[in-house]
């Protein structure tokens, strides 16, 4: 899952109006009375699904991660429910490189000073325990450079002194201009037995570092350090030999199997299909009841109530429950990549709901027109943003934009030129006092203090958030399903896609930084 850009807090501080929604773009969509569906989609109905997901996690080692029995049971439950509601349900299976930590990564100094470090793990790190001499790369910047991504440490093979052929050695490198996997691969190629990557040191780049290597590309352990600990370790190496022990306990399966669950409404024009998506998988570390049981349970309940109310959509509505999002948005990418040109042209829009119940929540709407972050979605995305902001405005509820930063399942759709949008209640970024004034909650505490942890359980939900964002989701689904008009001024559904401005999407995979 996605991390809320830090700029949002600054944006909240700069604005004092009761709502932070941007000016609405021209919108050709019809106004649709969605009251019946919103009234039918209740917190109790959403929680009924969440309780089943929690039980599934309880019965499967506390996780619903793709590639585990917990995910398979989650997909089975969703399939059974959708079939009972009357949807045409298919399961799209695919293989992916499964990885998980069996125990937290560890790093300790043996000499000259015995101490333990707080360390971070890297998704797709190799497995093992190595005790060896620390050898820094060239281009380490201590003190830090003036701007983020200014250190080129470890990005070139020549940054690494060839490792000893007989004595274990551990490379020390720094976050910077290239992907973590490049640093790790260069270290491995130079003969090192493990890698330490420490943070870069600028504001926002000081904490203990973790991230992803993107794929099983190295066999050696890779661990992270804060800038303070990394720079202190670097200083020690300048005074004499330093020995540390780096330990990772991981499991990798290069050909694990998982699936997407896809359900089509019985009616509606298949040439104008609205894909309503939420990822169904959790991280391996926990049950994922907020991330993203909350999004999955909400769209499952919307699907149920649309059938209960006998709503006859004008557009085909396709509910999609994505697998392997936490491994790099793999399920949604697999779905879009395997659409034929003809089928791709029939996708009208994508609505993405990823985390709707954060306990210290905000009401965040994807910045479809790019007015806040200068990273617009494809044509029609601004109208989807306006669909959400206009609804919340009508209820006197403040919203603020969140960036299309490539960290959730809308990404495959926007890259294909499909209009997209959705809601987000916040993850690990802390809530500001200005946001407390808008939404309530507690300043200085993360939107979701249990983000990607074992404590993301049924007790890690705000029913108020589920109520408000659940209604917003139901309103958007019903409006796109029932509107006679399209997004554009002439009522059509398609426009030429502009050249998309570069975004931070290339620097991320799913929920984890890669550089």
pLDDT in tens, 465-501: 999 999 999 999 999 999 998 888 777 654 434 444 4
Tell me the β-bridge partners of 468.
none
Average pLDDT for residues 446-456, to the nearest whole number?
Answer: 96
Asked whether the predicted pLDDT for residue 2 surpasses 90, the reply is no
For position 27, what pLDDT does the model report? 55
For position 509, what pLDDT does the model report? 53
All residues at 6 or more sequence positions from 199 whose CB lies less than 8 Å from its CB, including other chains: 174, 175, 205, 206, 207, 208, 209, 224, 225, 226, 227, 230
Classify burial at 242, counting beta carbons within 10 Å of its beta carbon; exposed 0-12, middle 13-18, buried 19 or more. buried
Classify burial at 40, counting beta carbons within 10 Å of its beta carbon; exposed 0-12, middle 13-18, buried 19 or more. middle
- The catalytic position among 285, 325, 326, 400 is 325
Classify burial at 498, counting beta carbons within 10 Å of its beta carbon; exposed 0-12, middle 13-18, buried 19 or more. exposed
What values do phi and psi take at 330, rounded to 5?
Answer: -75, -40
CATH topology of domain 7-87+265-513: Aminopeptidase (3.40.630)
Residue 357 tokens read as: 């119940």
Q: What's CA 359's distance to the chain center, in Å?
A: 17
pLDDT tens-place string over residues 95-112: 999 999 999 999 999 999
What values do phi and psi take at 68, rounded to 5?
Answer: -115, 160
pLDDT tens-place string over residues 112-130: 999 999 999 999 999 999 9
Active site residue 325: yes
All residues at 6 or more sequence positions from 350 whose CB lies less than 8 Å from its CB, including other chains: 274, 275, 276, 277, 410, 413, 414, 418, 419, 420, 421
3-state SS class at 233: helix
3-state SS class at 359: coil
When the candidates are 3.50.30.30, 3.40.50.800, 1.10.10.520, 3.40.47.10, the CATH number that belongs to 99-253 is 3.50.30.30
Domain ranges of the chain: 7-87+265-513, 99-253
pLDDT tens-place string over residues 381-414: 999 999 999 999 999 999 999 999 999 999 999 9
Percent of the chain's residues with pLDDT above 70 = 90
Asked whether the predicted pLDDT for residue 7 surpasses 60, the reply is no
Indicate the pTM of the whole model.
Answer: 0.87
SS3 content of the chain, % helix, strand, coil (to 5): 30, 25, 45
Element (H, E) at 189: helix 180-189
The HSE-up count of residue 66 (CA atoms within 13 Å, CB side) is 31
3-state SS class at 126: coil
Element (H, E) at 262: strand 243-264
Round the average pLDDT of the chain to a whole number and report it. 91
């Amino acid at each position: 899952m996605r991390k809320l850009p830090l700029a949002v807090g600054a944006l909240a501080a700069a604005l004092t109006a009761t709502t932070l929604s941007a000016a609405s773009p021209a919108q050709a969509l019809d106004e649709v009375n969605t009251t019946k569906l919103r009234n039918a989609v209740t917190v109790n109905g959403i929680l009924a699904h969440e309780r089943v997901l929690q039980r599934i996690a309880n019965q499967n080692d506390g996780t619903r991660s793709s590639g585990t029995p917990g995910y398979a049971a989650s997909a089975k439950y969703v399939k059974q429910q959708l079939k009972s509601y009357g949807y045409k349900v298919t399961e799209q299976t695919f293989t992916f490189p499964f990885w998980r930590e069996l125990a937290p990564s560890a790093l300790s100094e043996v000499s000259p000073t015995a101490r333990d470090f707080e360390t971070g793990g890297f998704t797709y790190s190799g497995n093992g325990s190595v005790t060896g001499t620390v050898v820094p790369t060239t281009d380490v910047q201590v003190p830090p450079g003036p701007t983020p991504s200014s250190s080129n440490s470890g990005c070139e093979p020549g940054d690494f002194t060839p490792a000893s052929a007989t004595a274990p050695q551990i490379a020390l490198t720094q976050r910077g201009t290239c992907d973590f996997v490049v640093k790790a691969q260069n270290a491995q190629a130079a003969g090192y037995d493990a890698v330490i990557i420490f943070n870069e040191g600028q504001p926002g780049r000081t904490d203990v570092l973790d991230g992803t290597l993107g794929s099983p590309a190295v066999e050696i352990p890779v661990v992270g350090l804060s800038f303070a600990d990394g720079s202190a370790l670097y200083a020690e190496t300048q005074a004499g030999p330093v020995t540390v022990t780096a330990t990772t306990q991981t499991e990798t399966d290069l050909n694990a199997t998982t699936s997407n669950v896809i359900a089509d409404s019985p009616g509606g024009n298949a040439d104008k299909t609205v894909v309503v998506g939420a990822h169904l998988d959790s991280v391996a570390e926990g049950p994922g009841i907020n991330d993203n049981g909350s999004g999955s349970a909400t769209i499952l309940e919307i699907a149920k109530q649309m059938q209960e109310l006998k709503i006859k959509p004008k557009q085909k509505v396709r509910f999609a429950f994505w697998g392997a999002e936490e491994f790099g948005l793999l399920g949604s990418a697999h779905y879009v990549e395997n659409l034929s040109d003809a089928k791709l042209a029939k996708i009208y829009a994508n609505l993405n709901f990823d985390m709707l119940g954060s306990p210290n929540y905000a009401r965040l709407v994807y910045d479809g027109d790019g007015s806040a972050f200068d990273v617009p979605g494809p044509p029609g995305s601004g109208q989807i943003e306006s669909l959400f902001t206009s609804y919340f405005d009508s209820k006197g509820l403040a919203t603020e934009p969140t960036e299309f930063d490539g960290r959730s399942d809308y990404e495959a759709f926007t890259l294909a030129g499909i209009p997209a949008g959705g809601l987000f209640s916040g993850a690990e970024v802390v809530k500001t006092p200005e946001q407390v004034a808008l939404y309530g909650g507690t300043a200085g505490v993360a939107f979701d203090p249990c983000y990607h942890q074992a404590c993301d359980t049924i007790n890690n939900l705000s029913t108020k958030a589920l109520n408000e964002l659940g209604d917003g989701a139901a309103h958007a689904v019903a409006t796109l399903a029932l509107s006679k008009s399209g997004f554009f001024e002439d009522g059509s559904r398609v426009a030429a896609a502009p050249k998309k401005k570069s975004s931070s999407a290339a620097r991320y995979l799913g929920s984890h930084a890669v550089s």
